[in-house]
Each structure stands twice: as structure tokens, then as C-alpha cells.
Amino acid sequence: MRNGASAPLYGFRLPDIDGHPVDLKIFKGKVLLIVNTASMCGNTPQYADLQEMYEQYRDRGFEVLAFPANDFGQQEPGTNEEIKGFCYTKYSISFPLFSKISVTGKSQHPLYKYLTERSTFPGPVTWNFQKYLVDRSGNIIGKYDPGMNPMSLTILTDLEKALARS
């Protein structure tokens, strides 16, 4: 997809953690890391790495978009208010946190239906903290396993390449 204005990703609107609607088109021109998260998972400490990554790269046009989900092992049972409190208190996150959604199954949010079925990296979300890297035009350019640390050389190399492109 060459024209970011028509990238399907930018057509989605989701509520943030406080319930305010957010059009993903506000992120046009930025490199994104989309992550489904959970507060009671073995991968939960990745919140700290996501925050470090965000702080290191946000001034270059990078955003982390976190989508809490309770689809795997019931590891995100809390309300949006509880999730927000946990993330802000324990990990001091400052990147965008969205309201809890479903990333699999019959209740799968349309954003994740797009990511898993229509993107360049199709396939189901396999667990909490699966990551999708999106370029400045809204194209999915990477998909990373849940256990892969956001600060891994693989992800950071791909991120650096994406940020270098205008």
C-alpha cells in the first residue's frame, strides 16, 4: 500500500483506556508498535521495555499502542480503570493505552481481524504481547512473537530502519 491516507489501519476507531474515542488516523506519519497486553502474564514485565522503547524513540516519530486483552489464560481480568491504575502505577507508562478488547475468537475486534487476516503477516495472535510493527504509511512491516522482548536487536533493527524512512 503506497498511499498512507488509504491504509486500512487508519480507518479504525477505538476507545482509549478512559473510554474516549481515538481515530488511528491521528498516527499517520508515525511508526507504530501495536501490542496486545495483559497485567497477569509472564510477559507483563515487557511493559517496562515498551516504556523504555517509547522514551528512546518517540521524538523520532514512534508510538506504542497497547491493547489490553483477556483472551489468553484470563490474564487481564480487570476493568479498564484497574488496568490503567496497574500500568501507570507499576510501570509508569506514558504511551497510548486503549480500552480492553478481544484479539481472538468470535468477539475479535475488527482491528485485530485486519491484523490477523488481511495484513502482510496473517495468522492468529498466539498469546499476550504479540507485536506488530507499522511503518509511517500504515503498512504492517513486522510481526513478533509474544516472548520476544521489545528491546531485542531484531525489533530495534527493524524499528531503526522504519524510522529512517521518511
* Max Cα–Cα distance, the chain, nearest Å: 40
- pLDDT, tens digit, 9 for 90 and up, residues 42-66: 999 999 999 999 999 999 999 999 9
pLDDT of residue 3: 39
SS3 percent helix, strand, coil of the chain, rounded to 5, is: 35, 20, 45
Out of 1, 22, 40, 41, the active site residue is 41
Place of cell 489464560: 73
Residue 41 annotated to the active site: yes
pLDDT of residue 6: 58
Which one, of 31, 24, 111, 10, lies nearest residue 69 by Cα? 111
CATH 3.20.20.140 fits 4-164, yes or no: no
Q: How far apart are CA 48 and CA 3, in angstroms?
A: 34
- Could you state, in order of their start, the residue ranges of all structural domains in the chain? 4-164
pLDDT of residue 4: 41
Nearest 5°: phi and psi at 54? -60, -45
Which one, of 123, 132, 129, lies nearest residue 12 by Cα? 132
pLDDT of residue 119: 86
pLDDT of residue 7: 81
pLDDT of residue 150: 98
pLDDT of residue 63: 99
Q: Which helix (H) or strand (E) holds 49?
A: helix 46-57
Q: How far apart are CA 40 and CA 128, in angstroms?
A: 10
pLDDT of residue 148: 98
pLDDT of residue 166: 67
Given a cut of 70, the residues of the chain with pLDDT beneath it are: 1-6, 166
Residues with Cβ within 8 Å of 115's Cβ and at least 6 positions away in sequence, in order, are 34, 121, 125, 132, 140
Q: Which pTM was predicted?
A: 0.94
Q: How far apart are CA 88 and CA 92, in angstroms?
A: 4
Residues with Cβ within 8 Å of 159's Cβ and at least 6 positions away in sequence, in order, are 31, 33, 53, 57, 62, 133
Which one, of 149, 101, 152, lies nearest residue 125 by Cα? 101
